[in-house]
Each structure stands twice: as structure tokens, then as C-alpha cells.
């Protein structure tokens, strides 16, 4: 049976953190999901950490031939997705137990093209502005790709991330949804835990 949610974790060298993300999916109070792990050519023990979870038939694992960035890795996951809605989980973040069930209540009528929002921030709430990376802005002013739930019935031209964008590819996708006047909804349920204390996260390294 087709799952309602396809969750994509794009991971690169996260052997110490990715199990936390995966466990948070396993701890959801709903089981109507599949988890697609895209290993973006990690050089550490990330694969060894993920492998024991693959006994669960809701899990799939793919490893890229070279490290090509989060947009391309997510797009590979999108191409493998079977769910009605496609969503994401950064490998250093986690879901609260009700994350998917709260979103299901909003999405079950299948009329929303993009649902986003609902973040609890751990650490620094400021990130580099995509228009000027020397300037720091509050995350409350941003859209956060990890919170996206995208209707899988949409055309690939809107369903995929722009692989030419190195930073804030999620805001680029959001802007495309706006241009096309698609149905965008923001939720305030703070069930996505966004860790800003990971030193090598893109928001911490883009301005260096």
C-alpha cells in the first residue's frame, strides 16, 4: 500500500548524529511512512550506522557516486519516493513524536501543495541572509526546507530543488510555489527540532 509520507534524509558524514534523526522517525505515533536515506558519498561510518535500521522494510538506502550537495541528494530521494506527500529530515535534526500525525490532519484532504513551518530551534536563531551572507537574520524570517511537505502529484519542474543553488535552495523552491500561485499553508505546530549547534552545518559554514 502506498505510504502517506515519504521522508528523505540526505546525509553526509553524520555517523554520530544520523541515528538520532532515524530514531525520531521510528518513534512517530503513526506508521504510514517510508524513509529514504540518501548517503551523499560519506567517507565516515555513516553507512554502518544506517545499515542495522534497514531490516525495517519501510527503510531504503542509496549512496551517491560522489558528494554533490543537499539539493541533488534530496532530488534523488524525491525520484525514489512513493508517498502522497514528500518531506525531509536533516541528518542532524529530529522530529517530535507527533510531527507526522499533526501534519496528516492538515494534509489528509490532499488539497495543500506545500505545507511548511513549525520549528523548535536549538541554539543560535540567526542564519546568513541568502541575499547577503554577511548579514545575519532571524530564522523566523526564513522558510526551512526540513519542514516542507510537498504534494507528490506536482510536476517535476516544481517538485525538484534547483541543483545550481548552493545555499537556501529551499527558499528558491518556495518562491517557485508562490510564482505559480500554488496552495501554500504554514503551520505553527512546533514539532520539527532544528539544531543550530552542529559546527559543519551549511548555515554555519556558508559565510566562511
Please return the burial class of 135, using the count of CB atoms within 10 Å of its CB with bins 0-12, 13-18 and 19+. Answer: exposed
Please say whether the structural domain 5-205 has been given the CATH code 3.90.550.10: yes
- Rounded mean pLDDT, 105-114: 93
CA distance 132 to 130: 6
pLDDT band per the 50, 70, 90 thresholds, residue 151:
very high
Per residue in 5-58, pLDDT tens? 999 999 999 999 999 999 999 999 999 999 999 999 999 999 999 999 999 999
CA distance 46 to 10: 11
Q: Name 195's bridge partners.
A: 122
pLDDT at 61 over 70: yes
pTM above 0.85, yes or no: yes
CA distance 8 to 91: 10
CA distance 208 to 206: 6
pLDDT at 202 over 80: no
**Whether 38 contacts 64, CB under 8 Å:** yes
Amino acid at each position: 500500500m502506498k505510504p502517506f509520507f515519504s521522508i528523505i534524509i540526505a546525509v553526509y558524514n553524520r555517523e554520530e548524529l544520523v541515528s538520532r534523526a532515524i530514531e525520531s522517525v521510528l518513534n512517530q505515533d503513526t506508521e504510514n511512512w517510508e524513509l529514504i536515506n540518501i548517503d551523499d558519498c560519506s567517507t565516515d561510518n555513516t553507512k554502518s550506522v544506517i545499515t542495522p535500521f534497514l531490516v525495517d522494510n519501510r527503510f531504503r538506502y542509496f549512496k551517491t557516486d560522489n558528494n554533490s550537495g543537499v539539493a541533488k541528494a534530496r532530488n534523488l530521494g524525491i525520484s525514489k519516493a512513493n508517498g502522497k506527500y514528500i518531506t525531509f529530515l536533516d541528518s542532524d535534526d529530529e522530529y517530535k513524536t507527533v510531527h507526522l500525525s499533526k501534519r496528516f490532519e492538515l494534509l489528509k484532504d490532499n488539497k495543500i501543495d506545500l505545507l511548511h513551518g513549525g520549528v523548535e530551534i536549538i541554539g543560535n536563531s540567526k542564519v546568513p541572509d541568502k541575499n547577503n551572507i554577511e548579514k545575519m537574520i532571524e530564522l523566523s524570517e526564513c522558510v526551512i526546507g526540513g519542514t516542507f511537505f510537498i504534494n507528490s502529484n506536482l510536476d517535476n519542474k516544481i517538485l525538484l530543488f534547483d541543483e545550481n543553488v548552493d545555499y537556501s535552495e529551499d527558499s528558491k523552491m518556495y518562491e517557485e510555489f508562490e510564482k505559480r500561485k500554488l496552495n501554500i499553508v504554514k503551520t505553527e505546530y512546533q514539532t520539527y527540532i532544528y539544531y543550530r549547534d552542529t559546527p559543519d552545518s551549511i548555515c554555519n559554514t556558508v559565510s566562511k
